[in-house]
Structure 1
Amino acid sequence: MDGDLGAYVRAEIEGKGLYAFDRIWDNGFRQISSSTKPIATPADLENFKIRVPVSPMWTSMFSAFGSATTSINFAETYTALQTGIVDGQENPLQILSDFKLWEVQKYVSMTNHMWDGFWLLANGRMWRGLPDDVKEIMANVFNAEALVQRETMATINTSLRGELEGNGMVFNDVTTADFQKKLVDAGFYAEWKGKFGDDAWAKLEAAVGHSL
């Protein structure tokens, strides 16, 4: 996101009247947790009741796996897991730790199925109205802190597996290529290439490799 793809996304954001700072903040790779079974293969996601964010991309991805998706605001996720409305969810390990999801989840499958981060944004009109020296100071500070935050998140997410295992969670690693193939076969990548457009998709593949 520090390269051509990030520049493309920032330009799209600025086209909507916002200013995006150069460095995105890291939320980490997302893993799947479950109260019923480990998710070892794509077949384990078929008819699996999973909470997903209120987002078309998340719903599309897990529908491609054949899951029974339910879009739930995160503030209601713990209760939904506790009461069995859903059997699992997906988030970086930091979230499992911060919100004590080990109390309502047993298994964690290291699928690394998605990465996301946070853009630090400012009102575009107000940003353009600031003096240049103020903008330079703010940009330098926020961009530098983003790099520090990334290092911190990487350290935290690396160490959290042991902490969560200590709280009773059972981890399993997966062959991620099997999950990617399932998404290819289900047309997930083709769908989102069509929505994002060839230019954006080419920049994405230049950064992370081909998916189709």
Structure 2
Amino acid sequence: MTLTRRTLLTATGAAVALPTISAFAQGKAEFTLKYANNLPVTHPMNVRAKEMAEAIRTDTKGRVDLQIFPSSQLGSDTDMLSQVRSGGIEFFTLSGLILSTLVPAASITGIGFAFHDYDTVWKALDGELGAFVRKEIAKANLLAMDHIWDNGFRQITSSTKPIQTADDLKGFKIRVPVSPLWTSMFKAFDSAPASINFNEVYSALQTKIVDGQENPLAIISTAKLNEVQKYCSITNHMWDGFWFLANRRAWERLPEDVRTIMAKHINAAGLKERADVAALNANLQKELSEKGMLFNQAKADSFRDRLRQAGFYAEWKGKYGDEAWSLLERYSGKLA
């Protein structure tokens, strides 16, 4: 499958199989499984998920029908996390930072200003840090697939002003996901963070409940947040990814040959999605600028210094413990 920016950004709902319709309508599958996520159908995650579901159906000779529920159709992030834990849905992709409400160590990959570039991210997440987090996730009776999917480096948008330095965040009303790490970081900047689920972000910005939010460019674009935000400040303040999670009991009930096929295609789709997001982000600043969004390059050192001064790194080192923090700094360099 060849992906272009046109495919990713202008696709309609047909880009993802509707929940009740299989891409292969012939015959009844032996296993009908639900996969839910919170992203629009045009995001690379769902484009690759559709391709993945079709490949699984083909390789299992029609035994598996993986149904895709995009755009928070099955509820908020917290709702869907509860459902995948109970077995109401079998698969769910979720940011490690939000997963940390259940698995505290999962948010370590999103420590503010820890990763300088993608090379460092993938070395860490495909290496020992990722293995450590997957082991912690397993303790919650969830299975995390080998390769985390990309969400991207996060940027701050605003309806009121550009964010240049840490001082610009003082008193700033910003939406953050339902995650202690996000709230802690923006409180260290003396901001006013509000935890709001993603399916409510557009309306919260539109009604001025908050003045800004932070997300990777691919989500800012596919969720059309530029319609309700004027400024985008390139901060790269956190890297964020999606763990592809499975209900452990549901996964172990599948025959071994089916699990092997599914894991192969899920992990392959995750690697392709990483490349898609990188390509998409490389062009989105120009495209969003043409739609009227104003960009500025923030001063990263200002934010990193403020976090050190506020004791943010020292606090989270204490929460994660020496083993986890040592693994992080093996890739990030000294933080605290």
TM range (shorter): over 0.9
Superposed CA offset, 1:127-163 (max 9, x none): 3343333322222221111111100011111111011
User: Aligned to 1:121, what secondary structure does the other structure show?
Assistant: strand
Counterpart among 149, 155, 175 of residue 31 in structure 1 = 155
Aligned to 1:63: 187
Q: Which amino acid aligns with 1:176?
A: A
User: Aligned to 1:16, what secondary structure does the other structure show?
Assistant: coil
Matches of 1:129 and 1:174, distance apart in 2: 49
Matches of 1:185 and 1:130, distance apart in 2: 50
Q: Note the 1:74-85 alignment, pairs <5 A.
A: 74-85=198-209
Aligned to 2:267: 143
Query: What's the offset of the Cα at 1:61?
Result: 0.5
2:277 counterpart of 1:153: yes
Can you give the 5+ residue segments of structure 2 that lack an aligned partner in the other structure?
1-124
Query: What's the offset of the Cα at 1:17?
Result: 0.9
Q: Which amino acid aligns with 2:177?
A: P
Q: Which amino acid aligns with 1:19?
A: L
Q: Which amino acid aligns with 1:43?
A: D
Counterpart among 161, 171, 174 of residue 47 in structure 1 = 171
**Paired residues, what number?**
212
Can you give the 5+ residue segments of structure 1 that lack an aligned partner in the other structure?
none
Matches of 1:114 and 1:35, distance apart in 2: 21
User: Aligned to 1:70, what secondary structure does the other structure show?
Assistant: strand
Matches of 1:75 and 1:128, distance apart in 2: 31
Coordinate RMSD, CA, aligned:
1.3
User: Aligned to 1:112, what secondary structure does the other structure show?
Assistant: coil
Aligned to 1:16: 140
Matches of 2:318 and 2:149, distance apart in 1: 27
Q: Note the 1:1-212 alignment, pairs <5 A.
A: 1-212=125-336
Matches of 1:99 and 1:43, distance apart in 2: 28
Query: What's the offset of the Cα at 1:43?
Result: 0.4
Matches of 1:102 and 1:121, distance apart in 2: 30
Q: Which amino acid aligns with 2:132?
A: Y
Matches of 1:191 and 1:130, distance apart in 2: 42
Question: What TM-score, normalized by structure 1, do the two folds share?
Answer: 0.95
Superposed CA offset, 1:38-78 (max 9, x none): 10000000111111112111110000001011122222222
Query: What's the offset of the Cα at 1:112?
Result: 0.5
Matches of 2:141 and 2:135, distance apart in 1: 10
Matches of 1:79 and 1:122, distance apart in 2: 30
Matches of 2:199 and 2:130, distance apart in 1: 29
Give me the identity figure in percent.
61
Matches of 1:71 and 1:127, distance apart in 2: 32
Query: What's the offset of the Cα at 1:211?
Result: 1.1
Describe the shift of the 1:196–1:147 C-alpha distance in structure 2 as closer, same or farther (beyond 3 A): same
User: Aligned to 2:135, what secondary structure does the other structure show?
Assistant: helix
Aligned to 2:11: none
